[in-house]
Amino acid sequence: MFTNIFQYGFIIRGLEAGIIVAIIAPLIGIFLVLRRYSLIADTLSHVSLAGIAIGLLLGLNPVLTALGVTIIASLGIEKLRNSKRIYGESALALFLSGSLALAIVLLSLAHGFNTNLFNYLFGSILTVTINDIYIIATLAVILIITLLLFYKELIFVSFDEDVAKVSGLPTRLINTILILLSAITVSLSIPIVGVLLIAALIVIPVVTALQLRQSFLKTIIYSEVISLFSVIAGIFVSFYFNLSTGGTIVLIMLAIFLVIFSAKKLY
Amino acid sequence: MQVDHSKNIIEIKDVCFSYRNEEVLKNITLDIHQGDYLGVVGPNGAGKTTLIKLMLGLLPLNCGSIKLFGQDIKDFRDWSKIGYVPQKATNFDVNFPVTVRQVVAMARYAKKGLFHFTNKDDEIIIEKSLKQVEMWEYKDRLIGDLSGGQQQRVFIARAIAGEPEIVFFDEPTSGVDKKTQDEFYTLVKELNEKSGLTIVLVSHDIERITAEAMHIACVDHTLVCHTSSQEFLEESESLNIFGHKIKNIYHHHN
């Protein structure tokens, strides 16, 4: 049974992309969840949709156009948030609805929704190309190195931004790095898990691992284990039962969360 | 600890600050000397926390100037000289997965610069700071699992682990019991008298801070008084700070 699945090149590519995404999503997710920034993943995923629409319209690689548009939008969100002229969550709402509207208008120009877009909305291992793998792998390496370099600063700013600022840390730079890394993670995760479910991949493994009440490093490790298991199991299950890959992955993650949450409540 | 009146650590001149067209502070002029233990008092919403945040560069000045260690706050870079225990220190996210040791280590991060992790020297300072607040045995516990008083001690350890010359405390005893308050004030006095740290402590507990601090600054949108604790105590009847029956602006030194 398991040998059959590896006969298909698209499954191998899907698994490779899935494993990369499963590794990077909780790494960025832990900082977003602890800063109560979970909603930013949702917003950036809708912004990515506008980027994908541009890619499909112009015949460019949608992952690359999504990456570009999401990075620009993430900087805009941060600037708007820093201006303190509107609430942080309002800035997210503006970008979320604005980018969704832009995506719909662009796609109507391209003669409506097509199968390709459906795959990006809900995720499908069929959409992962070998080029996507190269792009995802390169950017994942950049992301992991950047996180390692700013690891301690990101923890401090996430824990107590004011004290971090008073201690002399460049908090604005750290915040910009965090939002840029989020933009990269969201754009890269779309081919495998889809626009509508990427926030789940970033948030749920971290929220589940936080229930275990361990140190920061152990929380990251547990998030990684949950994320990797869910993505690999989700790809296998969705292949054999002909289900949506993204939806299956997220449902497996939610099941793990429910088990751990209930077990912690009982004991 | 003797106050060195010749050495100003902080010089505040004609400072004002408004938030959304509402004037929070105006005409604040105040010097804080090396070795001082200054209690900042005033009614709720009088601008005490705003004043602290202006001194720490967390809010921008609308007018006037602030000098830290003789340097204009805009050009000041030596933030390791300043320790800060904020009002919300014990209201942090209790689910945040960091140990006591990691919280105190944060004070060393800015000193390390980007791309460097804490080394053996930092570990020695972290251990010393935790021992000073009697929290070393809790070093591997999650901060969220400690009591309010213990968390407060850890945040003090973090403030002193940066080896500052001045430490700001913003309403540090709100929401903690009497015993914890006593322990806290004993610890702060030790930091001032034995370790030679300059202390600025915002408190709404006027009676207690008058008994502890060397000088008192009363803030009610402007600087209502700046005097020694002794004189403040003697004249507090006529000052009647919370009733706004203010006689004078005092500026005396022992």
- Say yes or no for a CB contact (<8 Å) between A169 and B110: yes
Q: Is B82 within 8 Å of A215 when comparing Cβ atoms?
A: no
Q: Would residue A57 count as lying in a domain? A: yes
Is it the case that residue B249 has pLDDT exceeding 60?
no
Mean pLDDT for chain A? Answer: 87
Taking the Cβ of residue A163 and every Cβ of chain B, the question of whether any pair is shorter than 8 Å is answered with yes
DSSP chain A: -HHHHTT-HHHHHHHHHHHHHHHHHHHHHHHHHHTT-HHHHHHHHHHHHHHHHHHHHHTS-HHHHHHHHHHHHHHHHHHHHHHTSS-HHHHHHHHHHHHHHHHHHHHHHTTS--HHHHHHHH--GGG--HHHHHHHHHHHHHHHHHHHHTHHHHHHHHH-HHHHHHTT--HHHHHHHHHHHHHHHHHHHHHHH-TTTHHHHHHHHHHHHHTT---HHHHHHHHHHHHHHHHHHHHHHHHHHT--HHHHHHHHHHHHHHHHHHHHHH-
pLDDT for A233 beyond 80: yes
Mean pLDDT over residues A77-91, rounded?
Answer: 80
Q: Kindly report the CA angle at A57 between A51 and A61, in degrees rounded to 5?
A: 60
Residues of A within 8 A of B92 (CB-CB) are 159-160
A-B contacts (CB, under 8 Å) = 83
Q: Please determine, for residue B253, whether its predicted confidence score (pLDDT) is greater than 50.
A: no
Assess if residue A267 is contained within a domain: no
A216 in contact with chain B, both atoms CB, cutoff 8 A: yes
Q: Does A166 touch chain B (CB under 8 A)?
A: yes
Instruction: Indicate the range of B5-14, B73-82, B169-178, B206-215 predicted with least confidence.
Output: B169-178
Average pLDDT over residues A238-262: 91
pLDDT at res. B246: 42
The pLDDT value given to residue A2:
54
Set of chain A residues whose Cβ sits within 8 Å of the Cβ of B103: 159
What domain range includes position A73? 2-262
**Which of A167-171, A195-199, A203-207, B187-191 shows the highest mean pLDDT?**
A203-207
Q: Which of B79, B90, B106, B140 would you mutate first to test chain A, the one with the most A CBs within 10 A?
A: B106
Best of B56, B96, B165 to mutate (most A CBs within 10 Å, chain A): B96
| Chain B nearest-CA residue for A31 | B96
pLDDT given for residue B51 in this prediction: 94
In chain B, which residue's Cα lies nearest the Cα of A159?
A: B96
What are B's interface residues with A at a Cβ cutoff of 8 A?
Answer: 56-58, 77-80, 82, 84, 86, 89, 92-93, 95-99, 102-103, 105-107, 109-110, 112, 114-115, 117-118, 142, 144-145, 158, 162
Q: What is the largest CA-CA distance in chain A?
A: 59
pLDDT at residue B239 above 60?
no
Subunit contact A159:B112, Cβ cutoff 8 A: no
Per-residue model confidence (pLDDT) at position B237: 58
How do strand B63-68 and strand B22-34 relate by DSSP bridges? unpaired
Minimal C-alpha gap between B225 and chain A (Å)? 27
Range of weakest confidence among A109-118, B92-101, B149-158: A109-118
Token pair, residue A136, equals: 């995802």
C-alpha atoms less than 13 angstroms from C-alpha of A8 in its C-beta half-sphere:
16
Q: What is the pLDDT of residue B90?
A: 60
| Amino acid B251: pLDDT | 45
CATH number of the domain encompassing residue A125? 1.10.3470.10
B252 has pLDDT over 50: no
Question: Domain coordinates of chain B in residue numbers?
Answer: 4-243
**pLDDT on residue A25:** 92
User: Among A192-201, A233-242, B55-64, B198-207, whose mean pLDDT is lowest?
Assistant: A192-201
Residue B247 has pLDDT above 70, yes or no: no
Q: Give pLDDT tens digits for B96-152.
A: 999 999 999 999 988 877 677 788 999 999 999 999 888 999 999 999 999 888 888
- The interface predicted TM-score (ipTM) is 0.83
Bigger pLDDT: A71 vs B113:
A71
In this prediction, residue A132 carries a pLDDT of 79
Question: Minimal Cα distance from B91: which residue of A?
Answer: A160
Yes or no, beta carbons of B145 and A166 under 8 Å apart: no
B158 contacts in chain A (CB < 8 Å): 163
Q: Is A218 on the interface with B (CB under 8 A)?
A: yes
Contact B102 A153 (CB under 8 A): no
B30-65 pLDDT, tens digit per residue, is 999 999 999 999 888 889 999 999 999 999 999 999
CATH number of B4-243: 3.40.50.300
Report pLDDT digits (tens) over B177-228: 788 888 889 989 999 998 889 999 998 888 888 889 999 999 999 998 888 8
For A149-188, the pLDDT digits (tens) are 999 999 999 999 889 999 888 898 999 999 999 998 898 7
Are A163 and B110 an interchain contact pair (Cβ–Cβ within 8 Å)? Answer: no
Amino acid at A116: N
Task: Give A-chain residues touching B80 at CB under 8 angstroms.
Answer: 167-168
Q: How many domains does chain A have?
A: 1
In this prediction, residue A265 has a pLDDT band, given cuts at 50, 70 and 90, of confident
pLDDT > 90 fraction of chain A, expressed in percent and rounded: 43
**Chain B contact for A214, CB < 8 A?**
yes
Q: Give the model's pLDDT for residue B1.
A: 60
- Least CB–CB distance from B97: residue in A149, A168, A219: A219
Q: Closest chain B residue to A214 measured between Cα atoms?
A: B97
